[in-house]
Amino acid sequence: MRIVRENTFFRQEIVTGLHSQVVVMSIPAGGEIGMEVHEVDQTLLFVEGAGEAILDDEKKSIVAGHLVFVPAGTKHNFVNTGSGDMKLITVYAPPEHQPGTIHKTKAEADAAEGH
């Protein structure tokens, strides 16, 4: 999990295949991914930190070691409620982002996605 722990970017694509994609993320204290809906399935493994998972308005606490599956079409957000960065690895199936995607900050990600 070194690649996840060492990542300082909001979002960085690691590998993209024909049917899935691996991305690492680092959410700063007090930050969030932002409410969103994908047309693809998403599985998230939390490696460091603590936060809150919000899926279709249902809230649950998350900590390192938790795995969350977000089915396609589900409104979701992940909020860092801890004092340090929340680090995670996420798998999209099929791929959601362009190969080579790096967003250093959430603002950069929002701008790239037209938010």
Mean pLDDT by 10 residues, the chain (115 residues): 95 98 98 96 98 97 98 98 98 97 95 80
> The whole model's pTM is what?
0.94
- AA identity, residue 5: R
Q: What is the DSSP letter of 79?
A: E
Reported CATH class of domain 2-112: mainly beta
Q: Which pLDDT score is estimated for 58?
A: 97
List the one residue out of 20, 23, 22, 25 whose CA is nearest residue 8: 25
What's the pLDDT at 40? 98
pLDDT of 115 reads: 61
Every domain of the chain and the residues it spans: 2-112
Whether the CA torsion 40, 45, 51, 55 is positive or negative: it is: positive
Instruction: State residue 93 phi and psi, 5-degree precision.
Output: -140, 110
